[in-house]
Amino acid sequence: MRGGGAAAPPAGAGGSTAAGPEGAAAGQQEAAERRHPRGSRRGKCGLHPRGSRDPAVPVVSPAGDRGKGERRSSGQPSSRLAAPRDTADLHQELCLYTLGNLIVESEAGRRQLLPQGIVPALASCIQSPHLPVLEALGYALSQLLQAKEAPKKIIPSVLASSIPQHMLRLLQPGPKLNPGVAVEFAWCLHYIICSQVNNALLITHGAVSTLGLLLLYLAGSVQSPEDAGLELLVCPVLRCLSNLLTEEAVEAEGGQVQLRDERVVVSVFILLQFLLQKHPSLLPEGLWLLNNLTANSPSICTSLLSLDLIKPLLQLLPVSNVVSVLVLTVLCNVAEKGPAYCWHLWPGPLLSSLLDTLALSDTDVVGQSLELLQLLFLYRPEAAQAFLQQSGLQALKRHEEEAQLQDRVLALQQTALHR
């Protein structure tokens, strides 16, 4: 779809990372996120950076390159050290930040780094017990992974090293999770997944399980004042999970089964409410994940209904056009599962909400509303009669002359009149 775009949250609104090199500027840098086009219209939507995309897919406009730009080490001891620091540790931290800045500035420099063994060096550094060193390493690695030549020349080497396993270890939820380090490596994981070089390998390393547990952890911790900085993890974790769910290897490794837990649905909705309050422009991230979860999973759709979460979903419709399209797409995923699911969708607030969306001028929102109504009328003929009684035909007439909608409007009119 061509609805609105999801801008980054206000500068600084993302909270702060752990004490260390970025300081207060980290929230601003994390708010400027890299965006890639997503996949198929309904069903699983994934990132296809180099491929075509069905024109009916909602587009979330790019919000800049997250994290690119110069950083400096503070040179001061951090309150989050896992072990005492010495001069060598500080030197290593400074070198990593300098390296990250050089990577941003020079493609020629990056070409020289690879044959000199930059990837094995980073694989050695990631085993450091010192959190400031790990955070600096995450920064340098994220810059390397964003290079235009990364998918062909850098990421295969990274995947062949021990770095992915250590990244996932540092993303394990629990009291040892460090927000500053975790944010850096969550974005690194996002860039690797977007490259689509070998996501099956990440899945075999347990990426889906780790991210699923981290999602549950974030839902329980993100609004706690004791966990400042964790909110910066929400966006990359949602993106990583959403895109890994599009991989065939997920089902082969049982990843879909791991995410069918009802707690996952509850966690997504907790994070949706958090984003609605704090960063509404990031709501599409959570809705993309919910879409991919419901696409081929009747059990997740059942959880949505049994937990009475349809009304909270409908309450998101007024936020923006892109949010409306995603909400309606999730509801289509539920409705297409069959009559038993549509029995839970109507009677209820759904029909009046769809009449409201038909009053809008955005063709993407209206088009998705028409599709949902077709599914509803197919499995609940009584809903078609209620639609007619509530002036539904008049609502459709305003779209009869719109070229993109004409065929679907006519089809829905015929369905409503003959059910």
Tokens 């500080």 locate to 90
- What the block records as the tokens of 284 is 């599409």
From CA 35, how far away is CA 41, in angstroms rounded? Answer: 17
Predicted confidence (pLDDT) at residue 16 exceeds the cutoff of 60:
no
Please tell me the pTM assigned to this model: 0.79
- Nearest CA-CA partner of 295 in 37, 53, 45, 3: 45
Exposure string over 320-346, b if 16+ CB within 10 A, otherwise e: bbbbbbbbbbbbbbbbbbeeebbebbb
pLDDT in tens, 104-137: 888 888 888 889 999 999 999 999 999 999 999 9
396-399: which pairs have CB atoms within 8 A and are 24 or more residues apart? 396/358, 398/358, 398/359, 399/358, 399/366
Q: CA-CA distance, 190 to 206, in Å (whole number)?
A: 15
CA 261 – CA 252 distance, rounded (Å): 18
Average pLDDT over residues 69-95: 56
pLDDT, tens only, 283-335: 999 999 999 999 988 999 999 999 999 999 999 999 999 999 999 999 999 99
Asked if 11 and 31 touch (Cβ cutoff 8 Å), the reply is yes
Domains detected in the chain: 25-277 (1.25.10.10)
For residue 384, give Cα distances in angstroms to 259, 354, 402. 35, 12, 23
